[in-house]
């Protein structure tokens, strides 16, 4: 909707300006079209359940596509 079109090039341009609420909370793409996401260190317990040992919060995906500016 924000791009006002279904043209791929225009959609890609507005992608970093879009924020939405997903199952893990607020999501916003960076300029390289990657989103910082929460990362957890967990341990599988004998009963098959997981126990979160540490939460690292939102982890920035960094500069993964240097040709996208």
Question: What does the pLDDT read at residue 46?
Answer: 98
Residue 23: pLDDT above 80?
Answer: yes
What whole-number distance in Å separates Cα of residue 44 and Cα of residue 2?
42
Q: Is residue 17, in this structure, part of any structural domain at all?
A: yes
Q: Is residue 27, in this structure, part of any structural domain at all?
A: yes
Range of the domain at 19: 8-59
Q: Is residue 67, in this structure, part of any structural domain at all?
A: no
Q: Is residue 1, in this structure, part of any structural domain at all?
A: no
Q: The tokens 């993964």 sit on which residue?
A: 64
Q: Is residue 65, in this structure, part of any structural domain at all?
A: no
What whole-number distance in Å separates Cα of residue 30 and Cα of residue 63?
9
What whole-number distance in Å separates Cα of residue 53 and Cα of residue 69?
36
Question: What does the pLDDT read at residue 66?
Answer: 66
Question: What does the pLDDT read at residue 68?
Answer: 60
Please indicate whether residue 67 or residue 62 has the higher confidence score (pLDDT). 62
Q: How confident is the model at residue 33 (pLDDT cuts 50, 70, 90)?
A: confident
Please indicate whether residue 41 or residue 28 has the higher confidence score (pLDDT). 41
Number of independent structural domains in the chain? 1
């Amino acid at each position: 909707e924000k791009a006002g079109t279904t043209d791929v090039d225009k959609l890609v341009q507005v992608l970093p300006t879009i924020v939405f609420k997903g199952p893990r909370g607020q999501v916003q793409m960076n300029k390289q079209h990657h989103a910082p996401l929460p990362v957890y260190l967990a341990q599988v317990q004998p009963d098959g359940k997981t126990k979160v040992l540490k939460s690292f919060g939102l982890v920035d995906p960094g500069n993964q596509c240097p040709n996208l500016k």
